[in-house]
Amino acid sequence: MPKPIFVLNGPNLNLLGVRQPAIYGAETLADVRRRTEARARTLALDVDFRQTNSEGELVDWIQEAREKACGIILNAGAYTHTSVAILDALNAAEKPVIELHLSNVFRREAFRHHSYVSPAAHGVICGFGAKGYELAIEALADIVTSSQAGKA
Ligand code: DQA
């Protein structure tokens, strides 16, 4: 089995299920975690699923991914729109990155249309709610598998 996929969640995502359910859905973060792990299992992949409200902790985890992960799925929450530190960490990690958002940020306020994560991301999934986590696992599985095939 390859190294785990780090699925990293930023600020306020611990409130999923109670926070603006019309935008973010009724599922809790624990529900999303179960969905993500189940999809990964079907692809014989391991997931390390985490959430923090702290920007520095996200940076630490992205640095950790350099050694310990095969790729990163990142829902950086509001730090998506503000954090050069997260962009720098992603560039330093040299791992495939999928940027993820539950909501379609492009249908929302203009300040959500810019992302500091996107320049470091292989691709972006947004607007599919919790299902997006499963889609991100599938997308990253393809990238990881084809990069390993390239090494064979
Ligand atoms: C979010 C979108 C961000 O704009 C917002 O700040 C979040 C969640 C999403 O998953 O839709 O906290 O990343």
| pLDDT, tens digit, 9 for 90 and up, residues 11-68 | 999 999 999 999 999 999 999 999 999 999 999 999 999 999 999 999 999 999 999 9
Pairing of strands 97-101, 71-75: parallel
Closest by CA to 3, choosing from 38, 63, 47, 60, is 47
Round to whole Å and give the CA distance between 109 and 90: 25
Q: How far is the CA of 137 from the centre of ligand 1 (A)?
A: 18
Q: Which atom of ligand 1 is nearest to the CA of 24?
A: 11
Is the sign of the CA dihedral 80, 83, 89, 91 positive or negative? positive
Predicted local confidence at residue 149, as pLDDT: 72
Q: Does any ligand 1 atom lie closer than 6 A to the CB of residue 80? A: yes
Q: What stretch of H or E contains 92?
A: helix 84-93
Summarised one tens digit per residue, pLDDT across range 77-136 is: 999 999 999 999 999 999 999 999 999 999 999 999 999 999 999 999 999 999 999 999
Round to whole Å and give the CA distance between 58 and 61: 5
Catalytic residue among 24, 79, 116, 133: 24
Summarised one tens digit per residue, pLDDT across range 127-147 is: 999 999 999 999 999 999 888
Q: Is 133 an active-site residue? A: no
Closest by CA to 72, choosing from 43, 42, 40, 94, is 94
Q: Does any ligand 1 atom lie closer than 6 A to the CB of residue 77? A: yes
Q: pLDDT-derived band of residue 152, with 50, 70 and 90 as boundaries? A: low
